[in-house]
Structure 1
Amino acid sequence: MAIFPLCIRDLRYQPNGREVLAGIDLELGDEGITLVLGPNGAGKSVLLRVICGLVQPSSGSMAWGSERGTRPAQGVMMVFQRPMMLRASVVHNVALGLKPFELSRREREVRALAMLERIGLADRAGDSARQLSGGEQQRLALARAWLTRPRLLLLDEPTASLDPSASAAVERIIREIRTDGTRILMVTHNLGQATRLGDDIVFMAAGKVCEHTAVQPFFARPRSDEARLFIQGELPWRMRFPGP
């Protein structure tokens, strides 16, 4: 079943009367990497959790291809800022992603080992996953999701607590996943990362999508005041934007 385009209309989330998502309108095609930017509290992570079904919206709709409803389609995976690792070996943690598929235990292990080769962790296959560094655990979490060949991969600040070297390794894997045919929607606060990875930018503020545009015009000439102030405040130098 086709799940794209993903069309979100007037999506709201109001726990205890507090408006976290205030009428999200967004449409995603079937290719590329979309980076979600915005200040803390804008609703970025909550939006990803609604899309993957972890949070039930208060109202609004999502259309997956020709199917309407808020339930996520099959083929949607999410990787969190702090991924969960089982008290098991590295290879077992990766093979876990194949559990729902009708594969023998040996076939799951063979595929998991091949994936560990791709992400540079084959030499750690027998180690406990909880002994890995933060960057290695994030690569492992990406591998676990990638192994299922998702149509849509949701990433919630996957490099937020990583040093530059570990971040670069994670970014390389994200690019490979995109090249492999997976659509990616990723939250980040790193504007440099957004320019390196993104095809387009979704900018959120106060629970709404203020802009959705290609990367270059977003940074060159943001249309909303919220985006303009955000970029000026986040970058380590003062930017001047051309007049209207």
Structure 2
Amino acid sequence: MSDLFPLTVRDAVASRQGKRLVGPVNLDLSGQGACVVLGPNGSGKTTLLRLLHGIARLNKGQITWSCPKAEAQRRQAFVFQHPVMLRRSVLDNLAYPLLLRGVPRKSAQTEAAKMAERIGVSQMLDRPARVLSGGERQKVSLGRALICKPDLLFLDEPSASLDGRATREIEDILQSAKSAGTALILATHDMGQARRLADRVVFLLGGQVHEEGTATDFFARPKTQEAAAFLKGDIVEC
């Protein structure tokens, strides 16, 4: 477990134009394995991830890491649902985070080539990243996030709109990262994916933590009627 954790969230609230999106949220995360954030559309999953990562404004409350905030942010990465590719090759997209950290270009490109092999895009290093398929773009986005070896990776719907094969390839990369010690906090609407990846589940409803616990307990023995209904596929209103 990284000394980035535990992560402590106390009475966290995020609002926009007077509308509360999330909160108050109280949460303690250990950083072991993968924590999957579940909930119906509009429950605040994306906003919570953005709050924890520091790219959404915290209106009230506190989010505390076990190291200084600047260091914590340096040791994290975020993969968005719709990845943005730079106007350059796959190789240069993968190398870019290392260049930002002052790594010499040749060394950065060498590491980028290794990452491309790891994520299965080594045959397209010279291809413009913006012409890739959705699954290929997401793999490059994952590689770009992982190349600096973060202790924690946030993922917002990492395989939304992808077919089964691409989803499996994304999950293989995530399982490999988790096995190597990278903590994962991800939001997903894919219940199968949640069951395959989760070690812990946070179930959001109406912007608040409605239920939280181990994946084994949550999927087998949900504590609330709302969580049980959600797992059955029933409509659960926020």
TM-score by structure 2 length?
Answer: 0.94
Structure 2 distance, partners of 1:73, 1:113, is 25
Mark the runs of 5 or more structure 1 residues left unpaired by the alignment: 236-244
1:108 corresponding residue in structure 2: 108
Corresponding residue number in structure 2 for 1:41 = 42
Matched length = 234
**1:182 equivalent in structure 2:** 182
CA distance in 2, matches of 1:102, 1:87: 20
Aligned partners of 1:42, 1:72: CA distance in 2, in Å?
A: 26
Shift of 1:113: 0.3
Comparing 48-57 with 88-97, greater Cα deviation is found at: 48-57
Structure 1: which amino acid aligns with 2:206? Answer: A
Describe how 1:1-244 pairs up with structure 2 within 5 A.
2-65=3-66, 67=68, 73-233=73-233
Q: Where has structure 1 moved over 6 Å in runs of 4 or more? A: none
Percent same amino acid at aligned positions? 39
The offset of 1:117, in angstroms, is 0.6
Structure 2: 5+ residue stretches without partners: none
CA contact (8 A) 2:4 2:72 kept: no
Per the normalisation by structure 1, the TM-score is: 0.91
Q: Distance in 1 between matches of 2:181 and 2:232?
A: 34
Task: State the Cα distance separating 1:216 from its structure 2 match.
Answer: 1.7
CA deviation vs aligned residue, 1:5-26 (integer Å, no higher than 9, x gap): 0111110012122111121111
Alpha carbons 2:51, 2:58 under 8 Å: kept: yes
**CA distance in 2: counterparts of 1:52 and 1:71, whole angstroms:** 12
Alpha-carbon distance in 1 for matches of 2:151, 2:82? 22
- Give the partner amino acid of 2:146: W
SS in 2 for 1:189: coil
Q: Conserved in 2, the CA contact under 8 Å of 1:51 and 1:72?
A: no
CA-based RMSD of the aligned residues comes to 1.8
Query: In 1, are the aligned partners of 2:116 and 2:122 still within 8 Å (CA)?
Result: yes
Query: 8 Å contact 2:54–2:73 — kept in the other structure?
Result: no
